[in-house]
C-alpha cells in the first residue's frame, strides 16, 4: 500500500487529485492540505509538516506554486523537514518546469515532476514509479534535463548521452543489475548499495563492471542517464 500526502494552493487541484486516486486499491490518501496563501498561513503549513514527521507517507505531492512561496516558511527550514523524511519520495506538480530548477530540486530529494495538464492521465503511474524510488519526468522534460545534466557533467568529466543501441542493450541487464543501476541513479555509493541489497561492496563493484561491459557506458553519470532514459522509454 502506497501512502500519499499532498499539499496544493487551490481547491480545484485537490478535488481533481482525490477523484483520480479514488478506487486505486494500492494507494491510500494519508493527508491533504490546501493553502491558497502560504505567506499568510505559515503556522498551518508547519503543523502539516510536523504531522508528516510523526507518520511519514511514502509519497508527498507538492504544488510547485507552494515552493515559490517557500521563502515565507524560511526555505532552510523546509529543506530540514525534507531531510528528516529520507524514505519519503517527493512529486512536484506544475504548469511548466525549467530544467535547471528541476535538477536543483532533484538534488534536494524530489523524484517526480508532473505537468498539471497530465495530472489526470499520469498521476497514478507517476506515484507508483516514484514510490519504487525511480524518477518520473513529464513530457519533453526528459530530454531537456538530460541535455542540461550533460552540459554540467561535461565540465567535470567526459560524458556521452545514451544511444538507441545502448537502450536496446538494456534487455541484457539482469534484475539485480537493474536494481544497482536504480541506486546509482539516486547517487548512492557502492557501500550504500551493498548495505541496501545485503551484498558485499566487492560484489556490487563486480555487478557495476558487468553493467559497464554490457552497455558500453564508462562512468556512473552515464549509468544514471542510461537508466533514467530507459525507464522513461519503458513507461511510455
Interval 196-209: pLDDT, tens: 999 999 999 999 99
Question: Is a pLDDT exceeding 80 seen at residue 161?
Answer: no
Percent of the chain with pLDDT over 90: 20
Q: Which of 50-59, 99-108, 196-205, 220-229 has the highest mean pLDDT?
A: 196-205
| pTM of the complete model beyond 0.85 | no
Question: Is a pLDDT exceeding 70 seen at residue 138?
Answer: yes
Residues spanned by the domain of 118: 2-143
Q: Are 125 and 234 in contact (CB under 8 A)?
A: no
User: For the ranges 41-55, 180-194, 220-234, which has the lowest average pLDDT?
Assistant: 41-55
**CATH no. for residue 168?**
1.10.10.10
Q: How far is 129 from 235, CA to CA, in rounded Å?
A: 9
From 131, 49, 127, select the one nearest 85 (Cα to Cα).
49
Mean pLDDT of 118-131: 90
Interval 9-28: pLDDT, tens: 888 888 888 888 888 889 98
**CATH no. for residue 53?**
3.40.50.2300
pLDDT given for residue 16 in this prediction: 87
Q: Which of 78-82, 146-150, 211-215 has the highest mean pLDDT?
A: 211-215
Question: Is a pLDDT exceeding 90 seen at residue 225?
Answer: no
Mean pLDDT of 190-195: 91
In a domain, 187, yes or no: yes
Q: Which residue has the cell 497530465?
A: 118
Q: How far is 72 from 135, CA to CA, in rounded Å?
A: 28
Q: How far is 224 from 220, CA to CA, in rounded Å?
A: 6
Domain final position from 143, 166, 181: 143
From 113, 97, 122, select the one nearest 61 (Cα to Cα).
113
Q: Examine the domain organization and report whether 78 and 174 are in the same domain.
A: no
Domain final position from 143, 166, 182: 143
In a domain, 148, yes or no: no
Q: How far is 227 from 223, CA to CA, in rounded Å?
A: 6
Instruction: From residue 4, give the alpha-carbon distance in Å to each of 29, 59, 68, 77, 124.
Output: 5, 5, 22, 22, 11
From 39, 25, 107, select the one nearest 67 (Cα to Cα).
39
Which letter does DSSP use for residue 28 in this model?
E
Interval 51-71: pLDDT, tens: 777 888 889 888 877 766 555
In a domain, 152, yes or no: no
In a domain, 134, yes or no: yes
Domain final position from 110, 143, 176: 143
Domain count, the chain: 2
Amino acid at each position: 500500500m502506497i501512502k500519499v500526502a499532498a499539499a496544493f494552493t487551490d481547491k480545484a487541484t485537490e478535488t481533481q487529485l482525490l477523484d483520480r486516486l479514488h478506487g486505486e486499491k494500492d494507494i491510500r490518501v494519508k493527508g491533504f492540505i490546501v493553502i491558497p496563501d502560504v505567506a499568510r498561513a505559515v503556522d498551518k503549513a508547519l503543523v502539516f509538516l510536523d504531522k508528516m514527521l510523526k507518520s511519514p507517507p511514502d509519497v508527498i505531492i507538492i504544488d510547485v506554486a507552494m515552493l515559490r512561496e517557500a521563502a515565507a516558511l524560511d526555505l532552510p527550514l523546509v529543506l530540514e523537514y525534507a531531510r528528516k523524511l529520507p524514505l519519503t519520495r517527493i512529486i512536484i506538480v506544475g504548469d511548466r518546469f525549467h530544467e535547471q530548477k528541476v535538477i536543483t530540486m532533484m538534488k534536494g530529494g524530489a523524484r517526480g515532476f508532473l505537468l498539471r495538464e497530465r495530472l489526470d492521465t499520469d498521476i497514478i503511474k507517476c506515484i507508483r514509479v516514484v514510490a519504487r524510488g525511480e524518477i518520473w519526468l513529464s513530457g519533453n522534460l526528459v530530454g531537456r534535463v538530460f541535455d542540461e545534466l550533460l552540459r554540467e557533467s561535461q565540465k567535470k568529466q567526459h560524458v556521452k548521452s545514451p544511444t538507441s543501441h545502448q537502450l536496446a542493450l538494456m534487455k541484457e541487464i539482469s534484475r539485480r543489475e537493474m536494481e544497482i543501476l536504480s541506486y546509482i541513479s539516486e547517487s548512492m555509493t557502492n557501500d550504500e548499495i551493498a548495505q541496501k541489497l545485503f551484498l558485499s561492496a566487492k560484489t556490487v563493484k563486480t555487478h557495476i563492471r558487468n553493467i559497464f561491459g554490457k552497455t558500453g557506458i564508462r562512468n556512473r553519470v552515464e549509468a544514471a542517464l542510461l537508466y533514467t532514459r530507459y525507464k522513461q522509454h519503458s513507461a511510455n
